[in-house]
Structure 1
Amino acid sequence: MSKFYRLSYRDYLYSMLALDPLDIIRRAPRDLGLEFDDIMEFSRRSTKMKAWWPDIETTFVANEDIESPEIPDITIWPAGAALVLTPKAYRLLGDLLGKFGELLPVRILNEEQPCWIFNCLTKKDADPELSEWEYQGGMPISIKRLGFEFGDNDPVVFKSDFDNCAFLYCGDRFRKIVAEYELKGLAFDSLVV
């Protein structure tokens, strides 16, 4: 039986993209009627940004105390349910991921080719029989368990309203593709239901 996974960043040897949503807000066109939260909460709101995406230059930053940091091929952009792809990962996965969201170029200081942010716009509903929040004092505090029903047309990568679109998820197909291409930097946390 197939499994679902939450995509995550786990290996601190890998550098992170030094791009904050505030950098995007500062460069966003003022005449589009975008609100602050349209960008700060782009994952939850499924904000489309490709039509106005600004020309942005940034770099990768190493985690503290890492002497020889590596640039990951593919990793999480912690600003939301999004991925960062190097030119290699974009070449190998760009067409596949483009069906489930938009790919946004980011120039990297002293590099010829851009990296790409994958802004996921595809959602899948959590299976209510397999998903549950943990409550304390009547308030939800954490996800106790999360599961999805399998379907023949499942998206390769998706987000879910169950967790307010905070994370990206995938099935075995995407995990196997990333492993087959030997792309470094992304962790696959198995969903336990």
Structure 2
Amino acid sequence: MNIYAVRQDNYKYRDIDLHIDDIIDAFPERYTLQECMKFSVFNIAMADFWPLMKTEFLPGDEHSNAIPDITPWVDATLLLSPRAFRFLGDLMKPWGEFLPLVVEGETYQIFNCLTLVHTLEEQSEVGVKIVLDEDSIGESLLFKSEFQSCLDTYCTDRFKQAVEEFELHGVVFNTNLASPFE
């Protein structure tokens, strides 16, 4: 089984102007500030209190001016354009939840990954190497690991192939699960 970190293709695509600070007030009082800031680590489902917000893409430059179809947002989340959601939404739904967001007049979706898998910690080293337990992955298409604080969304070949078949742009699939810099 091939496993990939789904990472932003930083060199061509614009980011959305939405930060975790923008949604803190929407969290119910039962959550601490730390839980809100690290919602991915605490595996918090947000669909019940997610506020419908409007935002836009940050300005690009001559190298990064394209609008992505799919791109990471914060930690183990992915932003999907209406087109990407149409193609991938049903495939992704069992592994997390979708949170609507209006971006420049169109309804995008943030996929909040809620599927945690185990890491073989004795074979892993933070920032250097992550070995995920394939038995805990099972049939999961998308997942995250607490080993590096749920910083990335991981996927199997099936998701990578779907993104490529539908010619969706904005992400790269990295076989180095620990470091985005290789």
TM, length-normalised to structure 2: 0.88
Structure (1 or 2) with the larger CA radius of gyration:
1
Structure 2: 5+ residue stretches without partners: none
Q: Structure 1 counterpart of 2:70, which letter? A: I
The answer on whether the counterparts of 1:132 and 1:143 sit within 8 Å (CA) in structure 2 is no
Matches within 5 A, 1:75-86: 75-77=71-73, 79-86=74-81
Alignment RMSD, CA only?
2.1
> What CA distance in whole angstroms lies between the structure 2 residues aligned with 1:68 and 1:11?
8
Does structure 1 residue 116 correspond to structure 2 residue 115?
Answer: no
Matches within 5 A, 1:68-147: 69-77=65-73, 79-109=74-104, 111=105, 113-128=106-121, 131-133=123-125, 142-147=126-131
> What CA distance in whole angstroms lies between the structure 1 residues aligned with 2:64 and 2:151?
30
Structure 1: 5+ residue stretches without partners: 134-141
The total of aligned residue pairs comes to 177
Q: Which position in structure 1 is the counterpart of 2:168?
A: 183
> What CA distance in whole angstroms lies between the structure 1 residues aligned with 2:64 and 2:85?
24
Moved more, 89-98 or 34-43: 34-43
Give the structure with the higher percent strand: 1
> What CA distance in whole angstroms lies between the structure 2 residues aligned with 1:54 and 1:172?
33
Q: Which position in structure 2 is the counterpart of 1:38?
A: 35
Q: 1:190 to 1:57 in 2, by over 3 A?
A: same
Q: Structure 2 counterpart of 1:143, which letter? A: G
TM, length-normalised to structure 1: 0.83
Identity, % of aligned positions = 34
